[in-house]
Amino acid sequence: MQNILVCQTGGWIGDMVLLTPALRALKCAYPESNVTLLLRPLVVDLMKTHPYVDTCIVDTKNRGRYRSLRELTRRIRRAAFDVAVVLHPTSFRNALLPFLARVPMRVGTNVNGRGMLLTASRKDDTSVHEVHRYLRVLQLLDIDTSLDSLEFWHTDTERRIIQDLLNAEDVSSTDRLIALNLGTTWRTKQWDIANFAAVIEQIVHLAPDVRIVLTGSSNELALVEALPTSLPIINFVGKTSILQLGALLERCEVCLTCDSGPMHIAAAVGTPTISLFGPTSPVRHKPHDTGHTIIEKPVECRPCYKRTCQRQDTPHLCMKEISIGEVVNALEIKLHQKAPIV
């Protein structure tokens, strides 16, 4: 197989990080192949530099659902792909496009009636981590899926940029750093900003030798503005690219975060996380590999995977039940583990 189409228009940064073991397995199995990734605009800047992706096709849907479907089908047909690997776990459109484009071999999971569009399929499994959910599809092609480690593809260029930014904040290359990622894509996954403020206040007191850096996109600037201005933080929210964020998180000893894309980037660069889970399941979405602390509460309605909380009595109870004290304690443990030897 020389020309491979991978379909995953899930659209979130974390999805793309978790996709990497599958993309690597494909490229290792067919090292001379051209791997093209069908994706959404939000992640194209990240994935166009991916080490296991040769080409990107962006599904913008900006010309209407049906017109864009026809145009994208023609483009895929002209590319003459040998195989389409449908890695979006549920999208009917992701399976329909290679079917209409007459890609001769089409593999993926049989959900939402997609099996009739695929030449080989298997039952989906939502009881495994998303990394393995992707890798299971490649087993339909008899590809070795034993290597499941994450990667992130920032370079020394991004590392130098981050160190320059840190130097401007009077942070040396040996200073200790904690990353606090304030935001997340769903309101239901968000921990209250007042809680983050309280954690910062306590950590500054308990570990005065540690600097705290805030991470996040420009969409989360309002969260920073809600923090007390007196807090001694380094604000990098909206000031780094995604690849630079990888270099920054690599520089940190630990990352405190809700379920988010930066959580997966931290795991990919080897930084331990303290991850706060509410409406989603850590079984599927926890930071991959070891060394991470998961904080979750046994609220009966979770995991619900709702972007809007349905509880009428105590909205967002699953996140509200996570206490400031247990988060501070988890941070203390991580910092003690990483403390320099005197």
CATH number of the domain that 35 lies in?
3.40.50.2000
Q: Provide the CA 266 distance to its chain's centre, in angstroms.
A: 9
Q: Are residues 206 and 278 in the same domain?
A: yes
Tokens of 101: 């484009």
- List 37's β-bridge partners, or say none: 6, 56
> What residue numbers bound the domain in which 261 lies?
156-338
Residues 302-319 have a mean pLDDT of 95
Residue type, 262: P
Q: Are residues 176 and 93 in the same domain?
A: no
Q: Are residues 237 and 186 in the same domain?
A: yes
Q: Are residues 122 and 189 in the same domain?
A: no
What integer pLDDT is reported at residue 10 of this predicted model?
84
pLDDT classification of 337: cutoffs 50, 70, 90? confident
- In three-state form (DSSP H/G/I as H, E/B as E, the rest C), the secondary structure along the chain is CCEEEEECCCCCHHHHHHHHHHHHHHHHHCCCCEEEEEECHHHHHHHCCCCCCCEEEECCCCCCHHHHHHHHHHHHHHHCCCEEEECCCCCHHHHHHHHHCCCCEEEEECCCCHHHHCCEEECCCCCCCHHHHHHHHHHHHCCCCCCCCCCCCCCHHHHHHHHHHHHHCCCCCCCEEEEEECCCCCHHHCCCHHHHHHHHHHHHHHCCCEEEEEECCHHHHHHHHCCCCCCCEEECCCCCCHHHHHHHHHHCCEEEEECCHHHHHHHHCCCCEEEECCCCCHHHHCCCCCCCEEECCCCCCCCCCCCCCCCCCCCCHHHHCCCHHHHHHHHHHHHHHHCCCC
pLDDT tens digits, one per residue of 20-71: 999 999 999 999 999 999 999 999 999 999 999 999 999 987 766 778 899 9
Residues 71-100 have a mean pLDDT of 96
Q: Are residues 188 and 290 in the same domain?
A: yes
Residue where one domain finishes, among candidates 141, 176, 198: 141
Residue 338 has pLDDT above 70, yes or no: no
Q: Are residues 84 and 206 in the same domain?
A: no
101 in any annotated domain: yes
- List 122's β-bridge partners, or say none: 109
Q: Are residues 109 and 30 in the same domain?
A: yes
Q: Are residues 20 and 168 in the same domain?
A: no
146 in any annotated domain: no
151 in any annotated domain: no
Residues 315-332 have a mean pLDDT of 97
What's the rounded Cα separation, in Å, for the pair 10 and 90?
A: 9
Q: Are residues 235 and 288 in the same domain?
A: yes
What integer pLDDT is reported at residue 342 of this predicted model?
36
What integer pLDDT is reported at residue 202 of this predicted model?
96
115 in any annotated domain: yes
- Token look-up 């964020």 returns 245
> Residue 324: which of 180, 202, 182, 184 has the closest Cα?
202
What's the rounded Cα separation, in Å, for the pair 323 and 195?
A: 8
Residue type, 342: V
174 in any annotated domain: yes
Residue where one domain finishes, among candidates 141, 175, 202: 141
CA geometry: angle 23, 27, 32, nearest 5 deg:
150
Q: How many residues does the chain have?
A: 342
pLDDT tens digits, one per residue of 165-223: 999 999 988 899 999 999 998 999 999 999 999 999 999 999 999 999 999 999 999 99
20 in any annotated domain: yes
Q: Are residues 192 and 322 in the same domain?
A: yes
Residue where one domain finishes, among candidates 110, 141, 172: 141
Q: Are residues 218 and 101 in the same domain?
A: no
The per-residue pLDDT of the chain, averaged, comes to 94
149 in any annotated domain: no
pLDDT tens digits, one per residue of 240-253: 999 999 999 999 99
264 in any annotated domain: yes
Q: Are residues 129 and 186 in the same domain?
A: no
What integer pLDDT is reported at residue 339 of this predicted model?
47
What integer pLDDT is reported at residue 128 of this predicted model?
96
- Report percent pLDDT > 70 for the chain: 97
Residue type, 281: S
- Report percent pLDDT > 90 for the chain: 91
CA geometry: angle 77, 114, 42, nearest 5 deg:
65
Strand 273-276 and strand 293-295: pairing? parallel
Q: Report how many domains make up the chain.
A: 2
